[in-house]
Amino acid sequence: MSGKRRQYDRDFKISAVRLLESSDESSEQVARSLGISGSMLRRWRNQVRSKGVKAFSDSGRMERSELARLRRKNKELQRDLEALKKTLDYLGRAGRKGTKP
């Protein structure tokens, strides 16, 4: 059973931490009411405490996807360059056959 991991957006995480901070209930109770694990909610709370407004930014994910896109583009350009080199080599040899030294 390999299901997809559920992903929560930044607003949900921050709202969950605010609810935990304003509630008299334990983190386990708040987490259960939100349908998440207590450890996840505590981890989110720690991230908000340590990073403040920068918590849960998507910049890392965006950088990884941009890097993957650039790597794909680089491979494509390398293939095109190799094809051009082969074409120029072929044309150069064909041109030499028709001329006398």
List, for residues 31-89, the tens digit of each pLDDT value: 999 999 999 999 999 999 998 877 887 666 778 888 999 999 999 999 999 999 999 99
Q: Does position 101 have pLDDT exceeding 70, yes or no?
A: no
Torsional class of 16: left (φ above 0), alpha (ψ -120 to 50), beta (otherwise): alpha
* pLDDT attached to residue 83: 96
Which residue is associated with the tokens 């995480």? 13
10-19, 20-29, 54-63: least confidently modelled range = 54-63
HSE-CB for 98 with a 13 A CA cutoff: 4
Question: For 14, phi and psi rounded to 5 degrees?
Answer: -65, -40
* pLDDT attached to residue 51: 86
